Structure 1
Amino acid sequence: MKNKYTPTAIGLYINYIVHGMGVIIISQNQNSLMTQWDTDLMGIAKVISMLGIGRLIAIMISGRLSDKFGRKPFIYLGMVTYAAYFFGILYSPSVELAMFFAVVAGISNSFLDSGTYPALMESFPKTAGTATVLLKAFIQGGQFALPLIIKFLASNHLWFGWSFMIAAILLGINAIYLWKQPFPDADAKLAEETEEVVEQAPTVKFKSKPKMAIEGVAFVIYGFIAQATFYLISQFIGTYGEQVAGMAQTDAGVLVSYYSIGSLLCVAFTAIMASKVRSVYLVVIYTFVSFLTIAIMWLFPTPLVCMIGAALVGFFAAGGVLQLGLTVMGEMFPAGKGTITGIYYTFGSIASFVIPVAAAQIAKTNVRGIMLFDTIIAGIGFVLAVIIFIRYRQTIDTSK
């Protein structure tokens, strides 16, 4: 039977096309923005860094408020503030004001996540892993489309600001489209208020109650580890290939492309597999292969190993395991999905700040040490995945 929330999901996915654009739109337009703000690359970097600050500020509280006030209001709040970001960056006369609007964008991302992830898990309870992993595909789609849009504008000598305007206009059209679409939490609340009997989505059967002090803590740390594992590779694989594996600079730069291809292939693969097997199995397998691959890249730093390893890490570490981890956490702690989304991604955001700084310190004296550092992180991630798997089997009835 067709799921009545499918049209809603389409609108939610469109938002993440725009989000994908929003993450890279400053760097893609950096030359024009440097002129507008009378700054240099350091000024651009300061503005971009504020995206993470904004996300960290809001993600925890927005998740709790999403549980209290509903998914739809927070999704719309995210859309409105994202539009403010696009217009604010475009018309900011200085780096300082642009930094403020970049913080707004990070907050917007938190609002969207706290409403969208729970809404998708509630809309498609049997295939929650597939539904959430697909978000990454739409983010990648936005990041693929934006450079093409900017190239078209430049080739035709059109105003660079149209790239910002197009993103904002897409949000506006999508806001109109989503206005009349149903949301599962709103339907459930209405049914409760009117005492209607409605068909309920299948619920997880527990053999024993999951403990926040055990698997809850494991999930939180796993959110940090999963983000750190692939973030390190994405930021340092080029440097590692050049300085440790002895690759030419141009060849080392292509390693990021292998990483991206692996990530996209995994999104497609996981979207299929997550509907056939439980997400917890994929989490364990993906985390183990990531750990093994990174360890081999550290032990045998050759150009061939780096090329294959970059693609494998992209597939198994960056292709959706972070989202799958959240899906499993949502199964084990079904009450308050907005809250757990906030907690989970808060620690992922912390990793985005802490890990690059630590890796940069290591790189000053020993670039190869970065891969050892990532091997240790990935190893911890595998241990956590095993703990989560064991506790999942102990607490959840998997007979059906």
Structure 2
Amino acid sequence: MLFTRDLRVRDNPALEAACKADRTVPVFVFDDALLSGPFAAPNRVRFLLDALADLRESLRGLGGDLVVRRGDPAAEVARLARQVDATALFLADERSAYGRRRLAALRGLGLEVTALPGVTVVPPGDLVPAGGDHYRVFTPYWRAWEAAGRRPVAATPRKVRLPEGVHAGPLPSFADLASGAASPDLAEGGERAGRRRLARWLDEDAADYERVRDDLAADRTSRLGPYIKFGCVSPREAAEAGPDAFRRQLAWRDFHHQVAAAFPELPRADYRPRRREWNRDEDALAAWRDGLTGVPVVDAGMRQLRREGFMHNRARLITASFLTRDLGIDWRAGLRHFDGLLADGDVADDAGNWQWVAGTGNSTRPGQVMNPLRQASRFDPSGDYVRRYVPELAGVEGPGVHRPWTLPEDRRRGLGYPPPITDLP
């Protein structure tokens, strides 16, 4: 059983199928090809290690263990298969370009390889429009997604029987895998932490999700993104438990996954080229990354990202629109920064959302611009979100915190907060 992006024992179809055998070797391979690139962002490494430690404890509670290896996944699986005389391999069916390459290599080992769903609610490619290979517009995809049948929830194995003589191996340390520090307020990873968060959100906030999910200061979104990205929480179970508006967000995730499966260049190339010239303003880009644009709602979002490895979804839209529309900077620069910090950084979802905001992706309104001041007055009317993350403005009362440049000059100088780096309508 090769764990990849399904780090859980509950509702894991591949694990359920693997554990029907007399003996099962659960394994996770740290792939050096990923650890040497942007996938090894410190926040995701920290979250991954939490998730693996939790998964190992759960498997031990079922009588098994998590075998940990490092190297090429196909080579390490082949070595283990020879050691235990394995004949079959189970794993989650992941349709990213990397996932398809990995699966092809595994299928060349001579094992009976079975890839089962679990990474998304509806697997990419299961829903296709008439005359096309994937949906290019969300609304018809959403209708098809809602009408689609759901796989049954997989049973949690009662027992995991690990063959004798298999050395599980230690989990590597954070320092072994990442360069740099994780965000100070990063959430704890793992299936148990994810299920606690899901249960608390369902109990306290899910009923009001549609009304409050865009309220920046309320902070009542599910915050399940990293748990779903790493498969600590089953997206299938989350979709069944959550309200309609939440299911729609999971459908957006599935939508981007099926776009990326059909257009693997999504993180690098315009899905719909607009022949736009991007500005190359390194100073403006640095100010945006550091939360020093002088536009409080933008800076609050960027500082939340650095502090927590997370950013409120509405703030993600505002900050991305500001970079691409107000500053005219290439969406790929924004994507690289987000992916360097987001614990829930996901190639398909992040690239799809950045392109949607930039007007090069699947938006039916590619010319739409989100005015940051209008967004702030609507989604942070009291200014509490800004005051939470921009301490220079903590003493500015009321909604005027969103326009500190309108304060008297002596008060502005005393704040130590920069003026806007661009004119705003």
State the TM bucket, normalised to the shorter chain: under 0.3
**Larger relative helix fraction:** 1
Query: Which structure would you say has the larger RCO, counting Cα contacts within 8 Å and 6 or more residues apart?
Result: 1
TM-score, normalised via structure 2 length: 0.27
TM-score, length-normalised on structure 1? 0.28
Relative to its length, the structure with more strand (as a share) is 2
